[in-house]
Amino acid sequence: MGRAQCRSDMAQSSTLTKRESYAPMAEPLMEGRQRVIVARVSPEVDCGRFAIKRVVGERVIVEADVFADGHDQIACQILYQQSGHELQASPMKPLGNDRWRGEFTVDKLGGYCYTVEGWIDRFETWRRDLEKRISAKQDISVDLLIGAELIERGAARAAPEDARVLLDCAQRLRENAGNDSGAAIALDSEILKLIRHYPERDFVTQYEKQLPVVVEREKACFSAWYELFPRSCAPEPGRHGTFRDCEEWLAYIASMGFDVIYLPPIHPIGKTFRKGRNNSVSSQPGDVGSPWAIGSAEGGHKSIHPDLGTEQDFRRFLAKAADHGLEVALDIALQCSPDHPYVQQHPEWFSTRPDGTIQYAENPPKKYQDIYPFYFETPQWRELWQELKSIFLFWIEQGVRIFRVDNPHTKSFPFWEWLIGEIKTHHPDVIFLSEAFTRPKVMYRLAKLGFSQSYTYFTWRNTRQELTDYFNEVTQSEVREYFRPNLWPNTPDILPEFLQVGGRPSFVLRLILAATLGASYGIYGPAFELCENAPVATGREEYLNSEKYELKHRDLNSNHSLKSLISRLNRIRKENPALQSNRNLRFHETDNPSILCYSKASDDLSSVIIVVVNLDCFHVQTGWLNIDLSSIGLDARHSFQVHDLLGEGRFLWQGSRNYVELAPESLPAHILRLRRWVRTEQDFDYYL
Amino acid sequence: MGRAQCRSDMAQSSTLTKRESYAPMAEPLMEGRQRVIVARVSPEVDCGRFAIKRVVGERVIVEADVFADGHDQIACQILYQQSGHELQASPMKPLGNDRWRGEFTVDKLGGYCYTVEGWIDRFETWRRDLEKRISAKQDISVDLLIGAELIERGAARAAPEDARVLLDCAQRLRENAGNDSGAAIALDSEILKLIRHYPERDFVTQYEKQLPVVVEREKACFSAWYELFPRSCAPEPGRHGTFRDCEEWLAYIASMGFDVIYLPPIHPIGKTFRKGRNNSVSSQPGDVGSPWAIGSAEGGHKSIHPDLGTEQDFRRFLAKAADHGLEVALDIALQCSPDHPYVQQHPEWFSTRPDGTIQYAENPPKKYQDIYPFYFETPQWRELWQELKSIFLFWIEQGVRIFRVDNPHTKSFPFWEWLIGEIKTHHPDVIFLSEAFTRPKVMYRLAKLGFSQSYTYFTWRNTRQELTDYFNEVTQSEVREYFRPNLWPNTPDILPEFLQVGGRPSFVLRLILAATLGASYGIYGPAFELCENAPVATGREEYLNSEKYELKHRDLNSNHSLKSLISRLNRIRKENPALQSNRNLRFHETDNPSILCYSKASDDLSSVIIVVVNLDCFHVQTGWLNIDLSSIGLDARHSFQVHDLLGEGRFLWQGSRNYVELAPESLPAHILRLRRWVRTEQDFDYYL
């Protein structure tokens, strides 16, 4: 390390304050008699820096290490609180090895927090020891007097009627301390039950942090998205579609069972450096340009492209969609075309090059001259942030409650944390989807900062190993506390190799995986249901004649459309609560790497789905499953029925090992609902 | 949960303050342009609540997730500081996947802290992009002007002579921006080297915590302990030994290579309820009692048992020990006999029962009427803590610097944190050994609170699986940052079953394991080296005729004494730095579960020891090792010599798989030193 660098550190980093690493409690002396330790509370994201996420009605299962010195019994409980409301408590039970667990349910939108407190349970300690002394036939007369004192102290905390009962008991203990009836009085289970209501919590230890929860509405976790370019919705080819045209599509989309229609940006599109078909650098007259090149003389992020319609048309479209049970998600891409009004009005929000021009978007050597990124290091960042926030508020005002955010990973992290916090404080029902396909830590950070849902690597995970590893990571590790996956088999930017080569069976396969592996999933339609799979060039994932740069016109009634399969899948998802959560995913062994098997089960095991997928879209695959029966509440002795909700077959299976055979062209997967027999004790006897 | 319980929570727990879980930065707005994230810094114990531990001269390897939005290059460094001294910096390098690593060395006793800071590396970003533009043959004239600006800004931060060079470079860049020589000026590696000394660290992000380190002296990690009852040191049987007698033992103990002599409590012993031989409840006249029943009319924790000698004798013994290279560790047992002066002077430091008697120690139904525990919940806890601290200070004053603390897990945790902090603030060279054989989380907590070393479960870990699991936990998980194991094959309280049944070979085996698995280990002697193995009863781990309750007299020159093996082992430990650390332990596969193989290597791989042990003390065992060569800096192509420092054999081994045969009666283990060939390039060519 260079000499000068060191000097420079000292100057710039004098904020590293001296800290006494020894004796943190030397002064002032706190309460030295707090003997209980509460540590390693989970869930806890980055030492409590970030909130865990839940939807209304979900449980929060809290665990903690709680223990004390010596041999005393301890007790502990969760304390939790909806912001601005009353504190509540929920008991915890020991799991062994000084670990405790409890739970509470969040039933309101907004913020909660929780913590854990523990204390010496003096009465239980005394009672446990007393039982041991009695077993060892020791003299307990003094111990009974100690118990009388504990009960009297309990009475002092009790409601009057309970206090009377306790004081009476204490008195009888004192009177009978020397004779044989004392033990029976002391161990009376009614007294135990009563005094448990009035624990002596002196020197209680509360965990040093209050951990935050953000509670969102159910759709933040469970949703089915359909991405649609409204300009391609005209009934006749070649005409620019309008919101009025889109209304005609609502019945079609609703019939497939989707609940979110997501629209790419609907704003005026820039003309300077407009991209032509297939992303050519020069556009031809009539080329419509990319919707992500936002802004022209006709307006910016708060305006609607005149060819789509008016604000009134848009609001009418939202209402019509709602009539079909559909919500509209808007795409917010925080970038400008060179023609955006901001460029003239606020040049300070952009970076200027030494030649006086504005810095266009680049990832050298690639140049995107039709896009000006906002300059998040501008000295006027406060004004920029406020203006960007006002864009979201504008569309919230129009009735939008879901935003898909374009490339959030190229805007500064502090901005997103502030923005989402600001919006959700006043609109806790707003959902944000993070469209970041980038490095894992960046994707996870965005989720921690507040995005409700995130795009995932599912798009490129095809093999059993890849799928198992990735979905174990997002559903079984700490990641699940803050990252909610939204699975997309395709997007306007990504036609994955797997779909390019696998034909219709590969679309079927990826659709089934997306709809059952994830509680949220989406497709870019109608490209998906019509199995469009021509890339712009070999080795590229861009669509040929991409809809990003031109109008499309399709035949929705094509024979090979997947619309009926999609309808069925979305109905299965809605009818089976097991498929509406992510944290309940479990993979099961198979003896054939082309066969993937996983299950999902509701908390109470009343809904259990087992999915078996042939990952090979070219060949029939057969194999044996090895199902972890305990994870779905079964044991190996009994047979059980599984009902294939896709193929309608019914199978009687026994134990963990069962055979499957799946043909890609006809039935590439089973989605099996477990039918649980209700057996009586007599039935069990019969089997034994 | 009961109604009343809830109400009671509310009253007692109103301290759970409302927290806005949204928008933590809504107001006041901090610097919104800090684009770099620094997260998940390691090592970090419980979110920085506890210090990591090191000894003087050790490295601290620091890792962190550091990344920013977008595509900019970032840079980061460790900042670290000895308490009260200048801040220093150490560079970090990328490991991939946004993880960075660096290190620093702690070379002074006391407290350090460290953190990580990251920033956008504007010059590196510009230079990387420039290279890509040049490769793509793009016009770079404006980019060269941008570079000139960056270099000019660097010059403003630079020392005068460097500034001149930089400004000259910037000027040449401006002059040649439009022609072909500009690129060469921009990419000049001398300029790069120079400007790296003056990084532009605007909007630098410092990790939000400063993480503490406690640095102790080498013996806190690397030490060999010998436990000795001084009262058994008299040369003739039946007489109570004295410190003067102990002096005669120093040469013997030093010759075996130990560096710490640990003495059970040396204080006056109580007479009331004194325990007789073999822990009988009534003592006979002449019974010496347990040294842990501390205090009599002759004094308490600051007094010396008159039969051992005077304070002067004790100080003389410390000096004589030092002459032999031995340090004396005292046992501090914070409990009193009923005759302890504290009981009269400070009855408020003890718990009183309803019948007016003082509460003796209990673990019902067991009673220890000869012991009064201190009452850590006394309202006078502050005075109690101060008095207990004064005990340690008293013995420090006498020259003691190592304390073995008896049963710390039955005293309150806040006390230990305070006590150790207080003592080490003024005496950073003091070492504390925690004698807690209790539940894992309690043992680890005590280590976190500040104990330098801890007793371990080694005493009961015998099989390959048990040893591998346990030592991986304490040396390869986060535990190693705060928990330093001290391995004891026996103690006066524990004669393990394994030693009871395995005869002398089992003592040899356990000794070798203790001395090589752990950087610190100890034996309770001479019971250990003389292979005493008679239990008080079948199924018990207590010694028959335990030295805890009577004087012993032994023949140190017994034929079967292990003293020469102990000498050899301690010499091997001293001569091989590999054996002086714990975190470098690696287990290797063997094809026979009775054969355990592990290695230790110094950081620079100059010292490498491979240990192979036959865990079966009854049969010859043979098997193949599968050594992870990369962990000891070898590759599979080359043969290498291993020199058995125990048996003096030399073997030429090749690759990872090598054969061993070990007989419990003759040679139950190899302790192999790797002899590395120094080969030239020509040698390699020869082999290839």
Token look-up 């950081």 returns B603
| For helices B413-426 and B440-449, angle between their N-to-C axes, nearest 10 degrees | 30
What pLDDT is attached to residue A28?
42
Question: Span A88-115, mean pLDDT?
Answer: 98
Give the pLDDT confidence of B528-580 residue by residue, as tens digits. Answer: 999 999 999 999 999 999 999 999 999 999 999 999 999 999 999 999 999 99
**Stretch B154-175: mean pLDDT, rounded?**
96
pLDDT of residue B14: 37
Tens of pLDDT, residues A35-73 = 999 999 999 999 999 999 999 999 999 999 999 999 999
Give the model's pLDDT for residue B12. Answer: 38
According to DSSP, the β-strands at B110-120 and B74-82 are antiparallel
Q: What's at B335, amino acid-wise?
A: Q
DSSP result, A122-191: HHHHHHHHHHHHHHTT---HHHHHHHHHHHHHHHHHS-HHHHHHHHHHHHHHHHHTTSTHHHHHHT-HHH
| CB-based contact, B363 to chain A, within 8 Å | yes
Query: Please, what's the b/e burial string for B158-193 (b: 16 or more CB within 10 A of its CB; e: otherwise)?
Result: beeebbebbbebbebbbebbeeeebbebbeeeebee
Report d(CA B145, CA A135) in Å as an integer: 90
- Asked whether the beta carbons of residue A158 and residue B37 sit closer than 8 angstroms, the reply is no
pLDDT digits (tens, 9 = 90+) for A387-445: 999 999 999 999 999 999 999 999 999 999 999 999 999 999 999 999 999 999 999 99
Alpha carbons B350 and B357: distance in angstroms, whole number = 10
DSSP readout, B303-339? S--TTT--HHHHHHHHHHHHHTT-EEEEEE--EE-TT
Taking CB atoms and an 8 Å cutoff, what residues of chain A touch B173? none
- What average pLDDT does the structure give for chain A? 93
Mean pLDDT of B378-404: 98
Host H or E run for residue B470 = helix B464-476
pLDDT of residue A4: 29
Chain A interface, best mutation among B3, B10, B22, by max A CB count within 10 A: B22
- Taking the C-alpha atoms of residue B391 and residue B377, their distance in angstroms, rounded to an integer, is 20
Question: What integer best gives the mean pLDDT of chain B?
Answer: 93
- Say how far apart CA B15 and CA B30 lie, in whole Å: 28
Closest in B15, B377, B421 to A206, CB measured: B15
Confidence check: pLDDT of B7 > 60: no
ipTM, interface predicted TM-score of the complex: 0.93
Catalytic residue chosen out of the listed positions A143, A435, A481, A616 = A435
B119 sits in the region (left: phi over 0; alpha: psi -120 to 50; else beta) called beta
Kindly state the helix (H) or strand (E) to which residue A684 belongs, with its residue range.
helix A681-687
**How far is the alpha carbon of A680 from chain B, nearest alpha carbon, in Å?**
32
Say yes or no for a CB contact (<8 Å) between A51 and B204.
Answer: no
Measure in Å the smallest separation between the Cα of B48 and chain A Cα atoms: 9
For residue B432, the chain A residues in CB contact (below 8 A) are none
* Predicted local confidence at residue B638, as pLDDT: 79
CB B290 within 8 A of CB B549: yes
pLDDT band at A113 (very low <50, low <70, confident <90, very high): very high
For residue A609, the surrounding DSSP H or E stretch is: strand A608-614
- Map residue A30 onto helix, strand or coil: coil
**Rounded Cα distance, A443 and A626, in Å:** 34
Catalytic residue among A406, A529, A532, A541: A406
Angle at A544 between CA A540 and CA A550, to 5 degrees: 130
Structural element, H or E, at residue B180: none
**Best A21, A98, A127, A149 residue to mutate vs chain B (most B CBs within 10 Å):** A21
Tell whether B303 is within 8 A of chain A (Cβ): no
Tokens standing for residue B561: 């004494």
- CB-based contact (8 Å) between A429 and chain B? no
- Burial (CB count within 10 angstroms: exposed 0-12, middle 13-18, buried 19+), residue A451: buried
**Residue among B23, B382, B410 whose CB faces A422 most closely:** B23
Instruction: Average the pLDDT over A253-260 and give the result.
Output: 98
Q: Integer distance in angstroms from the first to the last C-alpha of chain A?
A: 75
Find the closest chain B residue to A3 by CA distance. B197
B163 touches chain A (CB under 8 A): no
User: Which whole number is the average pLDDT over B26-42?
Assistant: 83
For residue A621 the two structure tokens come to 């695959």
A421: left (phi over 0), alpha (psi -120 to 50) or beta: alpha
Round to whole Å and give the CA distance between B36 and B479: 30
Q: Looking up tokens 């039982």, which residue turns up?
A: A131
pLDDT at residue B17 greater than cutoff 70: no
CA A519 to chain centre: 9
Unique residue bearing structure tokens 């094809």: B591
Question: Does B20 score more than 90 pLDDT?
Answer: no
Task: Give the pTM.
Answer: 0.93
Where in B551-619 does DSSP place strands (E)?
585-590, 595-601, 608-614
Q: Which of A95-99, A238-242, A296-300, B650-654 has the lowest mean pLDDT?
A: B650-654
Task: For residue B566, report the phi and psi dihedrals to the nearest 5 degrees.
Answer: -60, -45
C-alpha B78, offset from chain centre: 23
pLDDT mean over B239-267: 98
User: Dihedral sign, CA of B19, B20, B23, B26?
Assistant: negative
**pLDDT value of position A636:** 83
Nearest to A549, CA basis, from A286, A368, A212 = A286
Q: Is A5 on the interface with B (CB under 8 A)?
A: yes
CA dist., res. B226 & res. B249, Å (int): 11
Q: Is the pLDDT at A218 greater than 60, yes or no?
A: yes
Query: Taking CA atoms, what residue in A is nearest to B138?
Result: A365
Look up residue B235 and give its DSSP letter: S
pLDDT, average across residues A559-588: 97
Q: Which of residues 192-211 of A touch B (CB under 8 A)?
A: 196-199, 201, 203-204, 206, 208, 210
For A314-318, B345-349, B430-434, B654-658, which range has the lowest pLDDT when averaged over its residues? B654-658
pLDDT in tens, A595-644: 999 999 999 999 999 999 999 999 999 999 999 999 998 988 878 999 99
Over the stretch B575-609, which tens digit does the pLDDT of each residue have?
Answer: 999 999 999 999 999 999 999 999 999 999 999 99
pLDDT of residue B32 exceeding 60:
yes
Percent of chain A surpassing pLDDT 70: 94
Task: State whether residue A11 sits within 8 Å of chain B by CB.
Answer: no
Query: Nearest Cα to A332, choosing from A252, A284, A398, A379?
Result: A398
CA distance B55 to chain A (A): 15
Question: A682 falls in which pLDDT band (50, 70, 90)?
Answer: low
Q: What was the pLDDT predicted at B180?
A: 86
Q: Could you tell me if residue B9 is left (phi over 0), alpha (psi between -120 and 50 degrees) or otherwise beta?
A: alpha
Dihedral angle sign, alpha carbons of residues B61, B64, B68, B70:
positive
Percent of chain B whose predicted confidence (pLDDT) is above 90: 91
Mean pLDDT of the region B509-515 = 98
Q: Reading across the β-sheet that carries A36-42, which strands appear in turn?
A: A36-42, A59-68, A99-105, A93-96
What b/e readout covers A376-397, taking b as 16+ CB neighbours within 10 angstroms? bebeebeebbebbeebbeebbe
Please report the pLDDT score of residue A407 as a whole number: 97
DSSP state of B658: E
Using a CB cutoff of 8 Å and minimum separation of 24, what contacts does A598-605 make?
Answer: A598/A471, A598/A516, A598/A517, A599/A627, A599/A631, A599/A632, A600/A516, A601/A631, A601/A632, A601/A633, A602/A577, A602/A578, A603/A59, A605/A632, A605/A633
What is the average per-residue pLDDT within A557-570? Answer: 97
Task: State the pLDDT confidence band at B29, using cuts at 50, 70 and 90.
Answer: low
CB distance from A37 to chain B under 8 Å?
yes
Q: What is the pLDDT of residue A1?
A: 30
Q: Which of A210, A447, A417 is nearest to B26 (CA)?
A: A417
Minimum mean pLDDT range among B15-19, B199-203, B568-572, B594-598: B15-19
pLDDT of res. A680? 52
The alpha carbon of residue B85 is apart from the nearest alpha carbon of chain A, in Å, by 9
Query: Does the structure show a pLDDT above 70 at B15?
Result: no
pLDDT of residue A681: 53
Single-letter amino acid, residue A298:
E
Q: Looking at chain A, how many residues does it have?
A: 688
